[in-house]
Structure 1
Amino acid sequence: MEVFAKLENIIKVQDVSYAYTAEGNAANVLEHVSLAVPRGQFVAVLGHNGSGKSTLAKLCNAILTPSEGVVYVDGVDTRDEEMIYEIRQNVGMVFQNPDNQIVATIVEEDVAFALENLGVEPKEMRKRVDDALKEVGMYDYREHAPHQLSGGQKQRVAIAGIIAMRPACIVLDEPTAMLDPKGRREVLKTIRGLNRDYGITVVLITHYMDEAAKADRVVVVDNGRVILDDTPKNVFSHVEKLKGVGLDVPQSTELIYELRKAGYPVDSHIIDEEACVNEILRLLEE
Protein backbone atom coordinates (compact mmCIF):
# COMPACT_ATOMS: atom_id res chain seq x y z
CA MET A 1 0.00 0.00 0.00
CA GLU A 2 1.31 3.47 -0.89
CA VAL A 3 1.95 5.85 2.01
CA PHE A 4 0.33 8.73 0.14
CA ALA A 5 -3.17 7.56 -0.70
CA LYS A 6 -4.23 10.38 -3.05
CA LEU A 7 -6.85 11.66 -0.61
CA GLU A 8 -9.31 14.34 -1.73
CA ASN A 9 -7.68 16.92 0.58
CA ILE A 10 -3.96 17.28 -0.09
CA ILE A 11 -3.57 19.47 3.04
CA LYS A 12 -5.67 19.38 6.19
CA VAL A 13 -5.04 21.80 9.06
CA GLN A 14 -6.93 20.65 12.13
CA ASP A 15 -7.37 22.98 15.16
CA VAL A 16 -3.77 24.21 14.83
CA SER A 17 -2.05 26.75 17.05
CA TYR A 18 1.57 27.82 16.74
CA ALA A 19 3.69 29.85 19.15
CA TYR A 20 7.15 31.33 18.62
CA THR A 21 9.31 31.36 21.74
CA ALA A 22 11.78 34.17 22.38
CA GLU A 23 13.70 34.78 25.60
CA GLY A 24 11.49 32.30 27.38
CA ASN A 25 8.25 33.98 26.32
CA ALA A 26 5.81 32.28 23.96
CA ALA A 27 3.57 34.28 21.65
CA ASN A 28 0.83 32.63 19.60
CA VAL A 29 0.85 33.59 15.92
CA LEU A 30 -1.85 31.07 14.97
CA GLU A 31 -4.78 30.14 17.18
CA HIS A 32 -7.04 27.13 16.55
CA VAL A 33 -6.94 27.34 12.75
CA SER A 34 -8.74 24.66 10.75
CA LEU A 35 -8.95 24.42 6.97
CA ALA A 36 -8.66 21.84 4.22
CA VAL A 37 -7.17 22.28 0.74
CA PRO A 38 -8.71 19.98 -1.89
CA ARG A 39 -6.43 18.46 -4.51
CA GLY A 40 -6.20 20.69 -7.59
CA GLN A 41 -7.48 23.89 -5.94
CA PHE A 42 -5.83 27.31 -6.23
CA VAL A 43 -6.04 28.94 -2.79
CA ALA A 44 -4.82 32.45 -1.97
CA VAL A 45 -4.08 33.32 1.66
CA LEU A 46 -4.28 37.02 2.55
CA GLY A 47 -3.25 38.87 5.68
CA HIS A 48 -1.24 41.88 6.79
CA ASN A 49 2.33 41.51 8.09
CA GLY A 50 2.34 39.51 11.31
CA SER A 51 -1.09 38.00 10.70
CA GLY A 52 0.26 34.44 10.67
CA LYS A 53 -0.06 33.68 6.95
CA SER A 54 3.63 32.83 6.41
CA THR A 55 3.60 30.63 9.50
CA LEU A 56 0.63 28.80 8.02
CA ALA A 57 2.61 28.27 4.79
CA LYS A 58 5.57 26.75 6.65
CA LEU A 59 3.25 24.40 8.56
CA CYS A 60 1.94 23.03 5.25
CA ASN A 61 5.46 21.95 4.27
CA ALA A 62 6.59 20.68 7.71
CA ILE A 63 9.20 23.45 7.97
CA LEU A 64 7.30 24.14 11.18
CA THR A 65 5.15 21.73 13.18
CA PRO A 66 2.13 22.78 15.27
CA SER A 67 2.34 23.70 18.95
CA GLU A 68 -1.20 22.31 19.17
CA GLY A 69 -3.37 20.45 16.67
CA VAL A 70 -2.34 18.49 13.59
CA VAL A 71 -1.39 19.23 9.97
CA TYR A 72 -1.84 16.38 7.51
CA VAL A 73 -0.27 16.18 4.04
CA ASP A 74 -2.24 13.60 2.07
CA GLY A 75 -3.17 11.95 5.36
CA VAL A 76 0.36 11.93 6.82
CA ASP A 77 0.97 13.79 10.10
CA THR A 78 3.71 16.40 9.53
CA ARG A 79 5.06 15.70 13.04
CA ASP A 80 6.20 12.27 11.85
CA GLU A 81 9.94 12.94 11.45
CA GLU A 82 10.45 9.75 9.46
CA MET A 83 8.12 11.12 6.77
CA ILE A 84 9.54 14.65 6.41
CA TYR A 85 11.43 13.80 3.22
CA GLU A 86 8.31 12.38 1.54
CA ILE A 87 6.11 15.24 2.77
CA ARG A 88 8.43 17.83 1.23
CA GLN A 89 8.49 15.96 -2.06
CA ASN A 90 4.69 16.00 -2.06
CA VAL A 91 4.37 19.67 -1.09
CA GLY A 92 7.07 21.93 -2.56
CA MET A 93 7.85 25.38 -1.14
CA VAL A 94 8.79 28.58 -2.98
CA PHE A 95 9.99 31.54 -0.92
CA GLN A 96 9.89 35.31 -1.32
CA ASN A 97 13.51 35.78 -2.39
CA PRO A 98 14.53 33.50 -5.30
CA ASP A 99 18.22 34.14 -4.56
CA ASN A 100 17.77 32.10 -1.36
CA GLN A 101 16.73 29.04 -3.41
CA ILE A 102 19.13 29.24 -6.35
CA VAL A 103 22.33 27.33 -5.56
CA ALA A 104 24.03 26.64 -8.92
CA THR A 105 25.82 28.84 -11.47
CA ILE A 106 23.87 27.53 -14.49
CA VAL A 107 20.05 27.51 -14.70
CA GLU A 108 19.62 23.87 -15.73
CA GLU A 109 22.08 22.73 -13.06
CA ASP A 110 20.07 24.57 -10.43
CA VAL A 111 16.84 22.88 -11.51
CA ALA A 112 18.63 19.51 -11.41
CA PHE A 113 20.14 20.06 -7.96
CA ALA A 114 17.35 18.50 -5.87
CA LEU A 115 16.95 15.64 -8.36
CA GLU A 116 20.65 14.77 -8.01
CA ASN A 117 20.20 14.62 -4.23
CA LEU A 118 17.21 12.33 -4.75
CA GLY A 119 19.33 10.00 -6.89
CA VAL A 120 17.14 10.38 -9.99
CA GLU A 121 18.58 8.50 -12.97
CA PRO A 122 20.39 10.86 -15.44
CA LYS A 123 18.07 10.27 -18.42
CA GLU A 124 14.98 10.86 -16.28
CA MET A 125 16.64 13.89 -14.70
CA ARG A 126 17.32 15.42 -18.12
CA LYS A 127 13.68 14.97 -19.08
CA ARG A 128 12.36 16.44 -15.83
CA VAL A 129 14.67 19.46 -15.99
CA ASP A 130 13.74 20.21 -19.62
CA ASP A 131 10.01 19.70 -18.94
CA ALA A 132 10.10 21.92 -15.85
CA LEU A 133 11.92 24.74 -17.63
CA LYS A 134 9.48 24.55 -20.56
CA GLU A 135 6.52 24.67 -18.19
CA VAL A 136 7.72 27.95 -16.64
CA GLY A 137 8.87 29.42 -19.98
CA MET A 138 12.58 29.36 -19.14
CA TYR A 139 13.88 26.58 -21.39
CA ASP A 140 15.68 29.02 -23.70
CA TYR A 141 17.64 30.28 -20.68
CA ARG A 142 18.76 26.83 -19.50
CA GLU A 143 22.47 27.55 -20.10
CA HIS A 144 22.39 31.07 -18.66
CA ALA A 145 23.83 32.13 -15.31
CA PRO A 146 21.03 32.85 -12.79
CA HIS A 147 22.63 36.12 -11.70
CA GLN A 148 22.09 37.48 -15.25
CA LEU A 149 18.32 36.97 -15.02
CA SER A 150 15.63 39.40 -13.91
CA GLY A 151 13.85 38.88 -10.59
CA GLY A 152 10.80 37.38 -12.29
CA GLN A 153 12.96 35.00 -14.33
CA LYS A 154 14.87 33.90 -11.21
CA GLN A 155 11.61 33.16 -9.43
CA ARG A 156 10.42 31.07 -12.38
CA VAL A 157 13.67 29.10 -12.22
CA ALA A 158 13.07 28.53 -8.49
CA ILE A 159 9.56 27.27 -9.31
CA ALA A 160 11.01 24.98 -12.00
CA GLY A 161 13.32 23.47 -9.40
CA ILE A 162 10.29 22.56 -7.30
CA ILE A 163 8.08 21.21 -10.10
CA ALA A 164 10.94 19.02 -11.40
CA MET A 165 10.39 17.04 -8.20
CA ARG A 166 6.80 16.40 -9.39
CA PRO A 167 4.98 17.61 -6.26
CA ALA A 168 1.21 17.38 -5.92
CA CYS A 169 1.11 20.83 -4.32
CA ILE A 170 3.20 24.00 -4.36
CA VAL A 171 3.08 26.49 -1.48
CA LEU A 172 4.37 29.93 -2.45
CA ASP A 173 5.17 32.40 0.33
CA GLU A 174 4.82 35.89 -1.19
CA PRO A 175 6.78 34.90 -4.34
CA THR A 176 6.16 38.25 -6.07
CA ALA A 177 6.84 40.59 -3.13
CA MET A 178 10.32 41.56 -4.38
CA LEU A 179 9.41 41.79 -8.08
CA ASP A 180 8.47 44.65 -10.39
CA PRO A 181 5.03 44.60 -12.07
CA LYS A 182 6.35 42.73 -15.14
CA GLY A 183 8.00 40.08 -12.98
CA ARG A 184 4.83 39.73 -10.92
CA ARG A 185 2.75 39.14 -14.05
CA GLU A 186 5.23 36.53 -15.35
CA VAL A 187 5.24 34.57 -12.09
CA LEU A 188 1.47 34.74 -11.57
CA LYS A 189 0.90 33.53 -15.15
CA THR A 190 3.24 30.60 -14.45
CA ILE A 191 1.46 29.72 -11.20
CA ARG A 192 -1.97 29.84 -12.82
CA GLY A 193 -0.77 27.70 -15.73
CA LEU A 194 0.64 25.02 -13.42
CA ASN A 195 -2.69 24.83 -11.64
CA ARG A 196 -4.91 24.97 -14.72
CA ASP A 197 -2.88 22.85 -17.14
CA TYR A 198 -1.24 20.32 -14.83
CA GLY A 199 -3.66 20.14 -11.91
CA ILE A 200 -1.02 21.11 -9.35
CA THR A 201 -2.58 22.34 -6.12
CA VAL A 202 -1.45 25.90 -5.35
CA VAL A 203 -1.40 27.69 -2.00
CA LEU A 204 -0.36 31.29 -2.67
CA ILE A 205 0.50 33.51 0.30
CA THR A 206 0.19 37.09 -0.88
CA HIS A 207 -0.72 40.64 0.06
CA TYR A 208 -1.66 41.63 -3.49
CA MET A 209 -5.42 41.73 -3.94
CA ASP A 210 -5.28 41.31 -7.72
CA GLU A 211 -3.34 38.05 -7.29
CA ALA A 212 -5.86 36.72 -4.79
CA ALA A 213 -8.72 37.66 -7.12
CA LYS A 214 -7.42 35.11 -9.66
CA ALA A 215 -7.65 32.20 -7.20
CA ASP A 216 -10.48 29.68 -6.76
CA ARG A 217 -10.67 30.50 -3.07
CA VAL A 218 -9.42 33.20 -0.71
CA VAL A 219 -8.59 32.64 2.96
CA VAL A 220 -8.09 35.79 5.07
CA VAL A 221 -6.00 35.51 8.23
CA ASP A 222 -5.92 38.15 10.97
CA ASN A 223 -4.24 37.91 14.37
CA GLY A 224 -3.68 34.21 13.90
CA ARG A 225 -7.27 33.31 13.02
CA VAL A 226 -9.16 32.68 9.79
CA ILE A 227 -11.77 35.43 9.50
CA LEU A 228 -12.97 34.83 5.91
CA ASP A 229 -12.83 31.75 3.68
CA ASP A 230 -14.81 31.80 0.44
CA THR A 231 -14.67 32.54 -3.28
CA PRO A 232 -12.85 35.78 -4.25
CA LYS A 233 -16.14 37.47 -5.17
CA ASN A 234 -17.70 36.70 -1.79
CA VAL A 235 -14.58 37.56 0.22
CA PHE A 236 -14.00 40.90 -1.49
CA SER A 237 -17.63 41.90 -1.04
CA HIS A 238 -16.74 42.36 2.67
CA VAL A 239 -14.99 45.67 1.96
CA GLU A 240 -15.38 47.22 5.40
CA LYS A 241 -14.29 44.06 7.21
CA LEU A 242 -11.16 43.80 5.06
CA LYS A 243 -10.31 47.47 5.53
CA GLY A 244 -10.86 46.99 9.24
CA VAL A 245 -7.98 44.51 9.39
CA GLY A 246 -5.65 46.63 7.28
CA LEU A 247 -6.27 45.06 3.87
CA ASP A 248 -7.33 46.59 0.57
CA VAL A 249 -9.64 45.23 -2.09
CA PRO A 250 -9.19 45.13 -5.90
CA GLN A 251 -9.59 48.58 -7.47
CA SER A 252 -12.74 47.56 -9.32
CA THR A 253 -14.28 46.39 -6.06
CA GLU A 254 -13.31 49.68 -4.40
CA LEU A 255 -15.06 51.68 -7.15
CA ILE A 256 -18.20 49.55 -6.89
CA TYR A 257 -18.14 49.97 -3.10
CA GLU A 258 -18.03 53.76 -3.45
CA LEU A 259 -20.91 53.68 -5.96
CA ARG A 260 -22.99 51.61 -3.55
CA LYS A 261 -22.22 54.08 -0.74
CA ALA A 262 -23.47 56.85 -3.02
CA GLY A 263 -26.76 54.99 -3.45
CA TYR A 264 -26.30 53.38 -6.85
CA PRO A 265 -27.74 49.85 -7.22
CA VAL A 266 -24.64 47.94 -8.32
CA ASP A 267 -23.53 44.37 -7.74
CA SER A 268 -21.23 44.18 -4.69
CA HIS A 269 -19.50 41.00 -5.93
CA ILE A 270 -17.51 42.58 -8.78
CA ILE A 271 -13.74 42.05 -8.62
CA ASP A 272 -12.41 42.57 -12.16
CA GLU A 273 -12.20 45.54 -14.53
CA GLU A 274 -14.35 44.13 -17.33
CA ALA A 275 -17.26 43.36 -15.00
CA CYS A 276 -16.88 46.80 -13.42
CA VAL A 277 -17.03 48.53 -16.82
CA ASN A 278 -20.11 46.50 -17.81
CA GLU A 279 -21.84 47.39 -14.55
CA ILE A 280 -21.18 51.11 -15.03
CA LEU A 281 -22.40 50.93 -18.64
CA ARG A 282 -25.57 49.25 -17.38
CA LEU A 283 -26.09 52.10 -14.93
CA LEU A 284 -25.59 54.72 -17.65
CA GLU A 285 -28.04 52.97 -19.97
CA GLU A 286 -30.68 52.85 -17.27
Structure 2
Amino acid sequence: MKELISTEHLHFEYVRAEEENVLVLNDINISIHEGEFVAVLGHNGSGKSTLAKHFNAVLLPTGGKVLVDGIDTAQPDRVFDIRQRIGMVFQNPDNQIVATIVEEDVAFALENLGIEPAEIRKRVDDALKKVDMYEFKEHAPHQLSGGQKQRVAIAGIIAMRPECIVLDEPTAMLDPKGRREVLNTVMELNREHSTTIALITHYMDEAVHADRIIVVDHGDVVMTGTPREIFSQVDKMKELGLDVPQVTELCHRLKQEGLPVPDDVITEEECTAVLKQLLQ
Protein backbone atom coordinates (compact mmCIF):
# COMPACT_ATOMS: atom_id res chain seq x y z
CA MET A 1 0.00 0.00 0.00
CA LYS A 2 1.43 3.36 -1.04
CA GLU A 3 2.53 5.78 1.67
CA LEU A 4 0.55 8.96 0.98
CA ILE A 5 1.49 11.16 3.96
CA SER A 6 4.54 10.77 6.18
CA THR A 7 6.30 12.88 8.77
CA GLU A 8 9.98 12.59 9.58
CA HIS A 9 11.01 13.99 12.98
CA LEU A 10 8.35 16.69 12.58
CA HIS A 11 8.89 19.56 14.98
CA PHE A 12 6.71 22.65 15.16
CA GLU A 13 6.67 25.65 17.45
CA TYR A 14 4.88 28.97 17.32
CA VAL A 15 7.41 31.80 17.28
CA ARG A 16 6.54 34.72 19.54
CA ALA A 17 8.27 38.07 19.40
CA GLU A 18 10.03 38.88 22.66
CA GLU A 19 8.52 35.78 24.30
CA GLU A 20 9.51 32.16 24.58
CA ASN A 21 8.48 30.03 21.61
CA VAL A 22 5.62 27.59 22.17
CA LEU A 23 6.45 23.97 21.29
CA VAL A 24 3.41 22.22 19.79
CA LEU A 25 4.76 19.13 17.98
CA ASN A 26 7.85 17.24 19.03
CA ASP A 27 9.63 14.64 16.87
CA ILE A 28 6.51 13.22 15.19
CA ASN A 29 7.08 10.17 12.97
CA ILE A 30 3.89 8.80 11.43
CA SER A 31 2.59 7.63 8.08
CA ILE A 32 -0.84 7.38 6.45
CA HIS A 33 -1.28 4.96 3.57
CA GLU A 34 -3.43 5.14 0.47
CA GLY A 35 -7.02 4.05 1.17
CA GLU A 36 -6.56 4.07 4.95
CA PHE A 37 -8.95 5.61 7.48
CA VAL A 38 -6.92 7.07 10.33
CA ALA A 39 -8.35 8.85 13.38
CA VAL A 40 -6.18 11.24 15.38
CA LEU A 41 -7.17 11.67 19.05
CA GLY A 42 -5.96 14.01 21.76
CA HIS A 43 -7.28 16.36 24.42
CA ASN A 44 -7.61 20.08 23.73
CA GLY A 45 -4.17 21.59 23.18
CA SER A 46 -2.53 18.24 22.46
CA GLY A 47 -1.40 19.30 18.98
CA LYS A 48 -3.74 17.14 16.89
CA SER A 49 -5.20 20.00 14.84
CA THR A 50 -1.75 21.50 14.34
CA LEU A 51 -0.61 18.12 13.04
CA ALA A 52 -3.56 18.00 10.62
CA LYS A 53 -2.66 21.41 9.20
CA HIS A 54 0.78 20.08 8.27
CA PHE A 55 -0.77 17.43 6.03
CA ASN A 56 -1.64 19.91 3.28
CA ALA A 57 0.90 22.64 3.98
CA VAL A 58 -1.40 25.02 5.86
CA LEU A 59 1.47 24.97 8.37
CA LEU A 60 5.12 24.15 7.63
CA PRO A 61 7.54 22.38 9.99
CA THR A 62 10.07 24.32 12.01
CA GLY A 63 12.08 21.11 12.08
CA GLY A 64 11.99 17.77 10.26
CA LYS A 65 9.76 17.32 7.24
CA VAL A 66 6.35 16.30 5.96
CA LEU A 67 6.06 14.39 2.70
CA VAL A 68 2.86 14.15 0.65
CA ASP A 69 3.12 11.49 -2.04
CA GLY A 70 6.88 12.04 -1.84
CA ILE A 71 6.63 15.84 -2.13
CA ASP A 72 8.23 17.89 0.64
CA THR A 73 5.60 20.38 1.88
CA ALA A 74 8.36 22.95 2.46
CA GLN A 75 8.79 23.36 -1.31
CA PRO A 76 6.83 26.57 -2.06
CA ASP A 77 6.47 25.74 -5.76
CA ARG A 78 4.70 22.43 -4.95
CA VAL A 79 1.90 23.73 -2.68
CA PHE A 80 -0.63 23.49 -5.51
CA ASP A 81 0.36 19.86 -6.18
CA ILE A 82 0.04 19.04 -2.48
CA ARG A 83 -3.40 20.59 -2.14
CA GLN A 84 -4.63 18.77 -5.22
CA ARG A 85 -3.78 15.55 -3.41
CA ILE A 86 -4.87 16.51 0.11
CA GLY A 87 -8.17 18.32 0.69
CA MET A 88 -9.10 19.77 4.07
CA VAL A 89 -12.43 20.22 5.83
CA PHE A 90 -12.50 22.42 8.92
CA GLN A 91 -14.65 22.49 12.04
CA ASN A 92 -17.02 25.27 11.00
CA PRO A 93 -18.61 24.72 7.56
CA ASP A 94 -19.65 28.39 7.40
CA ASN A 95 -15.96 29.26 7.04
CA GLN A 96 -15.72 27.18 3.85
CA ILE A 97 -19.01 27.99 2.14
CA VAL A 98 -18.61 31.08 -0.08
CA ALA A 99 -21.56 31.05 -2.51
CA THR A 100 -25.29 31.65 -2.11
CA ILE A 101 -26.35 28.46 -3.95
CA VAL A 102 -25.13 24.97 -3.02
CA GLU A 103 -24.02 23.88 -6.50
CA GLU A 104 -22.24 27.20 -7.07
CA ASP A 105 -20.31 26.71 -3.85
CA VAL A 106 -19.17 23.23 -4.86
CA ALA A 107 -18.13 24.60 -8.27
CA PHE A 108 -16.25 27.60 -6.86
CA ALA A 109 -12.76 26.12 -6.61
CA LEU A 110 -13.11 24.30 -9.95
CA GLU A 111 -13.97 27.56 -11.72
CA ASN A 112 -10.89 29.20 -10.20
CA LEU A 113 -8.78 26.37 -11.61
CA GLY A 114 -10.11 27.07 -15.10
CA ILE A 115 -11.73 23.67 -15.56
CA GLU A 116 -14.08 23.34 -18.53
CA PRO A 117 -17.78 24.03 -17.71
CA ALA A 118 -18.95 20.58 -18.82
CA GLU A 119 -16.39 18.93 -16.55
CA ILE A 120 -17.37 21.22 -13.67
CA ARG A 121 -21.03 20.24 -14.12
CA LYS A 122 -20.13 16.56 -13.99
CA ARG A 123 -17.87 16.89 -10.94
CA VAL A 124 -20.37 19.01 -9.01
CA ASP A 125 -23.20 16.53 -9.64
CA ASP A 126 -21.00 13.55 -8.77
CA ALA A 127 -19.74 15.18 -5.56
CA LEU A 128 -23.22 16.15 -4.36
CA LYS A 129 -24.52 12.65 -5.05
CA LYS A 130 -21.65 11.13 -3.05
CA VAL A 131 -22.60 13.15 0.02
CA ASP A 132 -26.34 12.64 -0.56
CA MET A 133 -26.98 16.37 -1.14
CA TYR A 134 -27.86 16.36 -4.85
CA GLU A 135 -31.51 17.19 -4.22
CA PHE A 136 -30.39 20.36 -2.40
CA LYS A 137 -28.16 21.62 -5.21
CA GLU A 138 -30.31 24.71 -5.85
CA HIS A 139 -30.86 25.54 -2.18
CA ALA A 140 -29.24 28.40 -0.29
CA PRO A 141 -26.59 27.07 2.15
CA HIS A 142 -27.88 29.24 5.01
CA GLN A 143 -31.16 27.30 4.87
CA LEU A 144 -29.43 23.99 5.55
CA SER A 145 -28.78 22.26 8.86
CA GLY A 146 -25.26 22.11 10.29
CA GLY A 147 -24.77 18.53 9.11
CA GLN A 148 -25.98 19.38 5.62
CA LYS A 149 -23.66 22.40 5.43
CA GLN A 150 -20.72 20.23 6.42
CA ARG A 151 -21.61 17.71 3.73
CA VAL A 152 -21.68 20.54 1.18
CA ALA A 153 -18.21 21.59 2.37
CA ILE A 154 -17.04 17.99 1.93
CA ALA A 155 -18.59 17.92 -1.57
CA GLY A 156 -16.55 20.99 -2.47
CA ILE A 157 -13.41 19.08 -1.55
CA ILE A 158 -14.54 15.88 -3.31
CA ALA A 159 -15.08 17.83 -6.54
CA MET A 160 -11.36 18.64 -6.50
CA ARG A 161 -10.75 14.86 -6.57
CA PRO A 162 -8.05 14.68 -3.90
CA GLU A 163 -6.49 11.37 -2.91
CA CYS A 164 -6.98 12.16 0.78
CA ILE A 165 -9.41 14.25 2.81
CA VAL A 166 -8.26 15.62 6.17
CA LEU A 167 -11.17 16.51 8.47
CA ASP A 168 -10.33 18.67 11.48
CA GLU A 169 -13.08 18.00 14.04
CA PRO A 170 -15.81 18.29 11.39
CA THR A 171 -18.62 17.30 13.77
CA ALA A 172 -17.64 19.41 16.78
CA MET A 173 -20.36 22.00 16.13
CA LEU A 174 -23.08 19.54 15.10
CA ASP A 175 -25.98 17.87 16.88
CA PRO A 176 -26.10 14.03 17.05
CA LYS A 177 -28.09 13.77 13.79
CA GLY A 178 -25.61 16.00 11.96
CA ARG A 179 -22.69 14.03 13.39
CA ARG A 180 -24.18 10.77 12.10
CA GLU A 181 -24.73 12.28 8.64
CA VAL A 182 -21.15 13.48 8.35
CA LEU A 183 -19.62 10.30 9.77
CA ASN A 184 -21.66 8.13 7.39
CA THR A 185 -20.46 10.28 4.48
CA VAL A 186 -16.84 9.94 5.57
CA MET A 187 -17.13 6.17 5.97
CA GLU A 188 -18.79 5.80 2.56
CA LEU A 189 -16.07 7.85 0.86
CA ASN A 190 -13.43 5.63 2.42
CA ARG A 191 -15.04 2.23 1.93
CA GLU A 192 -16.87 2.64 -1.36
CA HIS A 193 -14.63 5.16 -3.12
CA SER A 194 -11.25 4.30 -1.53
CA THR A 195 -10.66 7.90 -0.43
CA THR A 196 -7.94 8.14 2.20
CA ILE A 197 -9.30 9.74 5.38
CA ALA A 198 -7.50 11.47 8.24
CA LEU A 199 -10.11 12.35 10.87
CA ILE A 200 -9.18 14.56 13.80
CA THR A 201 -11.85 14.09 16.46
CA HIS A 202 -12.58 14.02 20.18
CA TYR A 203 -15.58 11.71 19.72
CA MET A 204 -14.53 8.16 20.55
CA ASP A 205 -17.56 6.62 18.82
CA GLU A 206 -16.30 8.14 15.54
CA ALA A 207 -12.77 6.80 16.03
CA VAL A 208 -14.14 3.27 16.48
CA HIS A 209 -14.78 3.10 12.72
CA ALA A 210 -11.18 3.92 11.74
CA ASP A 211 -8.62 1.39 10.55
CA ARG A 212 -6.03 2.88 12.87
CA ILE A 213 -5.85 5.43 15.68
CA ILE A 214 -3.02 7.81 16.51
CA VAL A 215 -3.12 9.38 19.98
CA VAL A 216 -1.30 12.68 20.51
CA ASP A 217 -0.46 14.16 23.91
CA HIS A 218 1.50 17.36 24.54
CA GLY A 219 2.91 17.27 21.02
CA ASP A 220 4.04 13.63 21.12
CA VAL A 221 2.56 10.51 19.56
CA VAL A 222 1.97 8.34 22.64
CA MET A 223 -0.16 5.51 21.24
CA THR A 224 -0.92 4.02 17.85
CA GLY A 225 -2.89 0.93 16.91
CA THR A 226 -6.27 -0.40 15.86
CA PRO A 227 -9.36 0.93 17.68
CA ARG A 228 -9.58 -2.36 19.55
CA GLU A 229 -5.94 -2.14 20.66
CA ILE A 230 -6.25 1.48 21.75
CA PHE A 231 -9.60 1.38 23.52
CA SER A 232 -8.82 -1.81 25.43
CA GLN A 233 -6.28 0.30 27.37
CA VAL A 234 -8.96 2.13 29.35
CA ASP A 235 -6.78 3.22 32.27
CA LYS A 236 -4.07 4.60 30.00
CA MET A 237 -6.60 6.56 27.95
CA LYS A 238 -8.02 8.08 31.13
CA GLU A 239 -4.51 9.03 32.27
CA LEU A 240 -4.24 10.98 29.01
CA GLY A 241 -7.50 12.80 29.75
CA LEU A 242 -9.41 10.89 27.06
CA ASP A 243 -12.57 8.83 27.14
CA VAL A 244 -13.31 5.46 25.57
CA PRO A 245 -16.57 4.42 23.87
CA GLN A 246 -19.44 4.12 26.35
CA VAL A 247 -19.81 0.39 25.76
CA THR A 248 -16.08 -0.08 26.46
CA GLU A 249 -16.43 1.92 29.68
CA LEU A 250 -19.42 -0.19 30.76
CA CYS A 251 -17.61 -3.48 30.16
CA HIS A 252 -14.51 -2.15 31.93
CA ARG A 253 -16.57 -1.35 35.03
CA LEU A 254 -18.26 -4.75 34.94
CA LYS A 255 -14.85 -6.40 34.80
CA GLN A 256 -13.70 -4.33 37.79
CA GLU A 257 -16.66 -5.81 39.67
CA GLY A 258 -15.32 -9.28 38.96
CA LEU A 259 -17.53 -10.27 36.04
CA PRO A 260 -16.02 -12.27 33.14
CA VAL A 261 -16.04 -9.54 30.51
CA PRO A 262 -13.52 -9.17 27.65
CA ASP A 263 -11.18 -6.15 27.53
CA ASP A 264 -11.74 -5.22 23.89
CA VAL A 265 -15.49 -4.53 23.51
CA ILE A 266 -15.86 -1.43 21.31
CA THR A 267 -19.25 -1.71 19.57
CA GLU A 268 -22.84 -1.77 20.80
CA GLU A 269 -23.37 -5.15 19.14
CA GLU A 270 -20.43 -6.67 21.00
CA CYS A 271 -21.62 -5.19 24.28
CA THR A 272 -25.14 -6.55 23.74
CA ALA A 273 -23.73 -10.04 23.15
CA VAL A 274 -21.63 -9.83 26.33
CA LEU A 275 -24.60 -8.69 28.43
CA LYS A 276 -26.83 -11.44 27.04
CA GLN A 277 -24.22 -14.02 27.96
CA LEU A 278 -23.93 -12.63 31.50
CA LEU A 279 -27.70 -12.78 31.96
CA GLN A 280 -28.10 -16.37 30.78
Q: TM-score, normalised by structure 1?
A: 0.96
Does 1:255 find its partner at 2:246? no
CA deviations over 1:59-94 (Å, ceiling 9, x no partner):
001000111111000000000100001101100000
| Match status 1:239 vs 2:230 | no
The one-character-per-residue Cα deviations of 1:11-59 (angstroms, maximum 9, x if unpaired) are: 0111111101223321111100110001000000000110000000000
Instruction: State the secondary structure of the residue aligned to 2:99.
Output: coil
**1:19 matched residue in structure 2:** 13
Alignment of 1:21-60 (within 5 A): 21-24=15-18, 25-60=20-55
2:194 to 199, 218, 236: 199
- Does residue 187 in structure 1 map to residue 182 in structure 2? yes
Establish whether residue 273 from structure 1 lines up as the match of residue 268 from structure 2.
yes
Deviations 1:229-261 (CA, angstroms, capped at 9, x unpaired): 000011001111111111110000001111111
| 2:165 alignment counterpart | 170
Distance 2:16 2:172 in 1: 27
Structure 1 spans left out of the alignment, 5+ residues: 1-6
Task: State the partner residue of 1:147.
Answer: 142
RMSD: 0.9
Residue of structure 2 aligned with 1:92, choices 87, 92, 109:
87
Aligned partner letter, 2:114: G
Is the partner of 1:189 in helix, strand or coil?
helix
- Alignment match, 2:211: 216
Mapping for residues 53-68 of structure 1, pairs under 5 Å:
53-68=48-63
- Aligned residue identity for 1:192: M
User: What is the CA-CA distance between 1:283 and the residue it aligns to?
Assistant: 2.5
Quote the residue 1:83 is aligned against. 78
Is 1:158–2:153 an aligned residue pair?
Answer: yes
Paired amino acid for 1:100: N
**Aligned-residue offset at 1:203:** 0.2
Secondary structure, in 3 states, of the residue corresponding to 1:202? strand
Match for residue 118 of structure 1? 113
Distance 1:245 1:166 in 2: 36
Q: Which residue of structure 2 aligns with residue 130 of structure 1?
A: 125
Q: How many residues align?
A: 279
Q: Which runs of 4+ in 1 moved over 6 A?
A: none
> Which residues of structure 2 form unaligned runs of 5+?
none
> Aligned to 1:22, what secondary structure does the other structure show?
coil
* TM-score under structure 2 length normalisation: 0.98
Give the Å deviation of 1:264.
1.7
